[in-house]
Structure formats: structure tokens, C-alpha cells
């Protein structure tokens, strides 16, 4: 993602950050506005579109039936595939977006590789030999920095939008089973509780300053990049007042640049990351709840304009 910034421009950006100011007017720990839309692709099991500033992603969930010897001890994991549109950034022409896509996918996989994440995934174990494999396909439509944070939000939003029908499993020889569409499939639609799906925040440092949500230009100037992924705990209203440090787990911690940290500084960094992630999660969960309560009617979302040829 080498956008050619001149030395002067870089110095200007870095200097600004040292002073706690960013070129676009944000403070160091400010996010750009996040827009989350649900159910954008009707023929998937669930989908969401997430925009973080100029970064624009589309996430879609697909379930596919898999067969294994025994599902009891098997951990059903969410798998991720990320693709970069060739027009996402001027530099992504051809296949150059692949590297970025690959990096995002592997981070997401790592973050989701934990049994604490979405315990309801067990609902997708259909029988002794069959389960639904959850795949999240993410398409980066436009790249303007901070793709991983946006992707983690998109994944969570898409999973929250996931709708599926649990098939009636019919026993066959040798403990095998075969799925069948249940009667009244429409009323059998289920969803997942995604409160514990991870949220990732990427922390960037310039010297001693830490900042989040770097845009395309800022990404050229950072010293170190640390991804912090948390598994938020479910909100329990009566525990709201208790100690904040206890209510989440870290599922991903990755330093992607060859840079070392002083322990004290790293603690600050981690604290800031967890704090930001929790806040981000709270915002997303609120949006998900809002959508669940009153999903926007399609007809209201798209006012119509008709033109007649005659």
C-alpha cells in the first residue's frame, strides 16, 4: 500500500500526531464515522456492509453442509475469505490487493480460533456426522486504511444478520444422517447470538504517541502496528458498575512491525486498545440491537422513482 507521500508530507503528518493532532482534524483515539447496514445481499445466509470513513467492506455469511466422522469433540470454527476489489485503491490494480486480503483473512481466522467465541455455533452441529460450516466472505470495495478493524466489525455484523434453518436430520445406515428441509421452513428460521464475537482494534504508534483508525496516508507514517482483538463479555445490566478490567478476554495480540516496546509503554498500549475495542463493540452491539428491534423495511429504505417509456 505504498502511496507515494513526499518526505515533507510525512513529516507534517508525524509532527501533527506528536502534538495530538491529525491531518483530518481528529484526535488520536478518534474513529472515523462507522456506518453499518444489514441484509444487503438477500441470497446469502447473512450479510452486512460496513463503512469506516472511506473504507468500504461487504461481508456475507454462507453455510455449507460438511461431513465428519464425529462432531462431538469437533470445534466448529468460522472461516474467513477476504477479497480485494481491484478498484478498492489505485494501487490494487490486478492482483496486488491479494496480499492485503490475505493478511486480513489470517488475522480474522486467528481471532476467531477460540471456543469462547459464539458458543451458539454448537447449534450448527446438526448430527453426529454433519455440521454447518460457517464461512464469511469479505469483499473490500474501497480501501482507505484500517481494513482489519472494519473487517472485524463487518464479520460481526454479518454474523448477527445470519439466518438459517436447521434441517431435519434423517438417520441412515452406519450412524450417517441425511438432511431434509423441515416443514414450515419459514417459521423455523434461527439466528446466532454474536455478543461474544471478537472486535479488533489496530493501534498505531508514532514515537510515544498511540493512535487508532489510521487512514491511508497515516498508514505510511506509522512506526509500529499492533492488532488487539477482544472477546467481549455479554452485557449483564446488574454488573455494569463492576470492575471493567474483568469483562473481556484478549483473543488476538499481534505486532506486525519489527519494533519492540518498553513494558510500561506496552501496558499503556494494550490498555488503550482494549478500551477502544470495548467501546467499539458497545457501539456495534447497540446498532445490532437497533436493527433487531425494528429492521428497516426495504420499501422505506428505497424510495422509488418510476419512468414510463410511453
Partner 1 sequence: MELNVIDSGISRRILVHDWFLDDDNIVPRVVEQYLRTDLPCGLKDCKSCTLPKYSALEPRNEALAKVAPFKHTIIMDIPTMTRFVDLLEDDHIDNAVIIQTHWEHLSTTNPQIARKIDKILKGGEKHLAFLMNDMMEGTFVNPEDFESKEEELHHKLIVAAGFLKKHWESLDIKPVIVVSTDEAKEAFLKDYEFVTTVGEYVDSMGDKADLALRIQYLLKQEDTGPSIYPEYLQLNDVDQGLAAGKYQKGAFRVSPENYLEATVSFGVDYAESWFIQGRVSMNRACQGDIVVVELLPKDQWTLPEKVLRMREADEEMEEESAYMAETAAETAEPASKKAKKTPKAAAKPAADDEFQPLPTARVVAVLKRNWRDYCGLMLPSFQADGTDGLFSAFDKSIPRIRVEDPLYQEIVGKIVVVAIDDWPVDSHYPRGHLIQIIGNNGDQAAEEKMVLMEHDIRYEPFNANVLACLPKMPWVPNPESFRKDLTHLDICSVDPEGCTDIDDALHCVKNADGTYEVGVHIADVTHFLRPGTAMDNEASLRSTSVYLCGRRIDMLPDLLSSNLCSLRGGEVRYAFSVVWQLNEDSDVIKAEFHKSVIKSRAALTYQKAQEMIDDKKAKDSISESLRGLLHLSKKLKAKRFRDGALSLASSEIRFDIDPDTGTPLAVQEKKHLPTMSMVEEFMLLANVSVAKRIYEEYPDFAVLRRHPIPPKEQYEPLVRAADALGFKIDPSTGKTLADSLDKAVDPSNPVVNRMLRMLATRCMTQAVYFISSTMTPDKFLHFGLAAPLYTHFTSPIRRYADVMVHRLLASAIGADELHKEMLNKIWLIKQSDIMNYRHKKAQYASRASILLHTYLMIKGLENEVLEAFIVNIRKNGIQVQIPKYGLESIIFFTKSFSKERRNEDFVDYAKLNIRPFQKVKVSVSMVEKNLRRRVEVKLIEPKVDCVSADADVAAY
User: Minimal distance in Å, beta carbon 182 to partner 1?
Assistant: 9
Q: Is the CB of 110 or the CB of 291 nearer to partner 1?
A: 291
Q: Are 77 and 172 in contact (CB under 8 A)?
A: no
User: Minimal distance in Å, beta carbon 296 to partner 1?
Assistant: 14
Return the closest-CA partner of residue 61 out of 74, 75, 43, 76: 43
Contact partners, residue 229, CB within 8 Å, separation at least 6: 107, 110, 111, 152, 198, 199, 200, 201, 250, 251, 252, 253, 277
Q: Is the CB of 64 or the CB of 259 nearer to partner 1?
A: 64
Q: Is the CB of 19 or the CB of 190 nearer to partner 1?
A: 190
Collapse the DSSP code of 2 into the 3-class scheme (helix H, G, I; strand E, B; otherwise coil) and give the result: coil
User: Minimal distance in Å, beta carbon 172 to partner 1?
Assistant: 5
Distances (CA, A) of 41 to 72, 88, 225, 256: 33, 19, 33, 33
Q: Which residues bind partner 1 (CB under 8 A)?
A: 42-45, 63-65, 130, 163-165, 167, 170-173, 178-181, 184-187, 189, 298, 302-310
Q: Is the CB of 70 or the CB of 306 nearer to partner 1?
A: 306
Q: Is the CB of 183 or the CB of 241 nearer to partner 1?
A: 183
User: Minimal distance in Å, beta carbon 47 to partner 1?
Assistant: 11
Contact partners, residue 42, CB within 8 Å, separation at least 6: none
Q: Are 61 and 159 in contact (CB under 8 A)?
A: yes
Q: Is the CB of 240 or the CB of 305 nearer to partner 1?
A: 305
Cell of 178: 441425511
User: Minimal distance in Å, beta carbon 84 to partner 1?
Assistant: 26
User: Minimal distance in Å, beta carbon 57 to partner 1?
Assistant: 21
Q: Is the CB of 293 or the CB of 298 nearer to partner 1?
A: 298
Tell me how crowded residue 2 is: count the other CB atoms within 10 A of its CB: 7
User: Minimal distance in Å, beta carbon 44 to partner 1?
Assistant: 7
Tell me how crowded residue 82 is: count the other CB atoms within 10 A of its CB: 28
**DSSP track, 199-264:** EEEEEEEETTEEEES--TTGGGT-SEEEEEEEEEPPP-GGGTTS-GGGGEEEEEEEE-SS----HH
Collapse the DSSP code of 266 into the 3-class scheme (helix H, G, I; strand E, B; otherwise coil) and give the result: helix
Amino acid at each position: 500500500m505504498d502511496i507515494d507521500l513526499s518526505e515533507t508530507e510525512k513529516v507534517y503528518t508525524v509532527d501533527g500526531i506528536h502534538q495530538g493532532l491529525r491531518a483530518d482534524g481528529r484526535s488520536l483515539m478518534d474513529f472515523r464515522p462507522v456506518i453499518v447496514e444489514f441484509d444487503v445481499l438477500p441470497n446469502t445466509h447473512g450479510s452486512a456492509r460496513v463503512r469506516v470513513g472511506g473504507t468500504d467492506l461487504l461481508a456475507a455469511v454462507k453455510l455449507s453442509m460438511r461431513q465428519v466422522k464425529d462432531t462431538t469433540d469437533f470445534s466448529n470454527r468460522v472461516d474467513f475469505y477476504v477479497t480485494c476489489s481491484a478498484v478498492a485503491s489505485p494501487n490494487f490494480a490486478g492482483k496486488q490487493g491479494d496480499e492485503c486480503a490475505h493478511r486480513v483473512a489470517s488475522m480474522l481466522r486467528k481471532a476467531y480460533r477460540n471456543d469462547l467465541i459464539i458458543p451458539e455455533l454448537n447449534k450448527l452441529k446438526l448430527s453426529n456426522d454433519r455440521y454447518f460450516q460457517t464461512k464469511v466472505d469479505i469483499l473490500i470495495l474501497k480501501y482507505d486504511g484500517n481494513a482489519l478493524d472494519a473487517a472485524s466489525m463487518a464479520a460481526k455484523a454479518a454474523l448477527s444478520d445470519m439466518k438459517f434453518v436447521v434441517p431435519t436430520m434423517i438417520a441412515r445406515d452406519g450412524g450417517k444422517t441425511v438432511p431434509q428441509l423441515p416443514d414450515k421452513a419459514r417459521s423455523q428460521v434461527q439466528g446466532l447470538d454474536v455478543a461474544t464475537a471478537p472486535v479488533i482494534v489496530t493501534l498505531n504508534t508514532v514515537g510515544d504517541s498511540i493512535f487508532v483508525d489510521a487512514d491511508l496516508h497515516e498508514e505510511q507514517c506509522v512506526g509500529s502496528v499492533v492488532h488487539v482483538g477482544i472477546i467481549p463479555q455479554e452485557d449483564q445490566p446488574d454488573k455494569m458498575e463492576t470492575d471493567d478490567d474483568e469483562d473481556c478476554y484478549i483473543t488476538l495480540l499481534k505486532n506486525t512491525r519489527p519494533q519492540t516496546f518498553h513494558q510500561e509503554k506496552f501496558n499503556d498500549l494494550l490498555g488503550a486498545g482494549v478500551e477502544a475495542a470495548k467501546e467499539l463493540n458497545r457501539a456495534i452491539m447497540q446498532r445490532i440491537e437497533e436493527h433487531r428491534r425494528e429492521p428497516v423495511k426495504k420499501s422505506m429504505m428505497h424510495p422509488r422513482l418510476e419512468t414510463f417509456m410511453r
